[in-house]
Amino acid sequence: MEITEEQYRRIEPVLPRQRGNVSLSNLTVLNAILYVAEQGSKWRGLPRRFGNWHTIYTRMNRWSKNGVLDAVFEKLQREQLVRIRVEAVSMDSTIVKVHPDGTGALKKTVPKRLANRVADGAPKFIWLPRMLERR
């Protein structure tokens, strides 16, 4: 999923104008972003042909905060250059309630004895092993 020069010219007005000493063109950065979106790879996993991954990530982050990325993807969809289907599933603890036993807490199996045995009272049960008679 890469955009050609001709396709780039159709969406170029949405992207910010490059100024100063810029090592990567907007087309290269946009193709790198589309590569990560398509492959689902990490930024560090970008092929070398796109350039430095950190430079691309920084520009993508800046575009995302300024709303440029939303406008670019909207323009790509309207021009029918790229078809993107975004699916997301989100769950957090306010939606799914967990039973107290499922939280991973240790179960209280042994009753705590007080230091003062008189205050603790009589034992709750008495274990008396019985010997079976042998013939």
Minimum mean pLDDT among 3-12, 67-76, 89-98, 122-131: which range? Answer: 122-131
What pLDDT score does 18 carry?
84
The yes-or-no verdict on residue 131 having pLDDT over 60 is: no
pLDDT digits (tens, 9 = 90+) for 50-72: 999 999 999 999 999 998 988 88
Mean pLDDT calculated for residue range 62-89? 81
Q: What is the pLDDT of residue 50?
A: 92
pLDDT digits (tens, 9 = 90+) for 105-122: 666 666 666 666 666 666
The rounded distance, in Å, linking the Cα atoms of 54 and 52 is 6
Please report the pLDDT score of residue 120 as a whole number.
60
Average pLDDT over residues 38-58: 90
3-state secondary structure the chain: CCCCHHHHHHHHHHCCCCCCCCCCCHHHHHHHHHHHHHHCCCHHHCCHHHCCHHHHHHHHHHHHHHCHHHHHHHHHHHCCCCCCCCCCCCCCCCCCCCCHHHHCCCCCCCCCCCCCHHHHCCCCCCCCCCCCCCC
Average pLDDT of the chain to the nearest whole number: 78
